[in-house]
Amino acid sequence: MTTNDRRQSQVLHSNLHAAGDALLLASASPRRAELLQQLGLQFKVQVADIDESPRVNEQPLAYVTRMAQEKAQGIATRLDATSAVTTCILAADTTVVVADTILGKPVDAAQAVAFLRRLSGRRHQVLSAVCLLYAGQLNTLVQTSAVTFMPLTDQQISRYVASGEPMGKAGAYAIQGRAAAFVTHLDGSYSGVMGLPLAETAALLRSVQLMPY
């Protein structure tokens, strides 16, 4: 690191801790807030209201990256000029992928059933993108995990859907909830499958001196 780089880092560190809203989490997800709290950081939450529809022929990696970035940029547009310079905005997005098909949040119980039938007895991917926006600089990391489900009966699926847990969840399941009983193997990041990959999140926060360790 050069002397100039050190000076810029020190200024950045000073600015961040001088700001009342040094870190904003752009998410309505209580799971992401709980995960971020595990890192021992103080932050505030703002909800980004964006269109989460995939574009025509958009690939899963491009989609999840765009979603995280648009959430961060959406919050940035609400900030005044001073806050825009001194605030770090953290955003994330998670999607479930089967055979290159994006399984987003089910729109109703019937779609949740359809998603779970596709996941039954097979391996799928979970892509979680985390984005940090600070002073106009956008940095994004993507974590990919592989999850394998046991074969599910129609009764198991219908009872799980009836619990209400699949709604609002990518792929129609929550690994930290009742669906943990369906998972026979996880290769990757548990926090990433939950919605906020903590190793990648910490790496981004270290880059702006917001991680104490």
Cβ atoms of 65 and 92 within 8 Å: the answer is no
Structural domain tally of the chain?
1
The predicted pLDDT at position 144 comes to 98
Asked whether residue 177 is assigned to any structural domain, the reply reads yes
- Regarding predicted confidence, which is higher, 7 or 157? 157
Q: Quick check: 165 pLDDT over 90?
A: yes
pLDDT tens sequence across 125-138: 999 999 999 988 99
Q: Find the range with the poorest average confidence among 54-68, 80-94, 157-171, 183-197.
A: 80-94
Tell me the average pLDDT across 77-95: 90
Q: Check whether 2 has a pLDDT greater than 70.
A: no
The label of the residue with tokens 């595990």 reads 38
Is residue 192 one of the residues assigned to a domain?
Answer: yes
Using pLDDT thresholds of 50, 70 and 90, give the confidence band for residue 86.
confident
Q: Residue 10's pLDDT is what? A: 40
What is the per-residue pLDDT for 11?
37
In a domain, 212, yes or no: no
What does the mean pLDDT of the chain come to?
90
pLDDT of the residue at 104: 95
Flag whether pLDDT at 39 surpasses 90: yes
Note the pLDDT of residue 1: 39
Domain with 72, as residue range(s), is 3-206
Q: Does a structural domain hold residue 103?
A: yes
Residue 162 lies in a domain: yes
Q: Is 93 a catalytic residue?
A: yes
For residue 72, being part of any structural domain is answered with yes
Task: Kindly tell me if the per-residue pLDDT of 22 is higher than 90.
Answer: no
Q: What is the CATH number of the domain that holds 132?
A: 3.90.950.10
In a domain, 157, yes or no: yes
Selecting among 93, 108, 154, 187, the annotated active-site residue is 93
% of the chain at pLDDT higher than 90: 81
- Is 211 inside any structural domain? no
Residue 18 predicted with pLDDT over 80: no
pLDDT at 37 over 70: yes
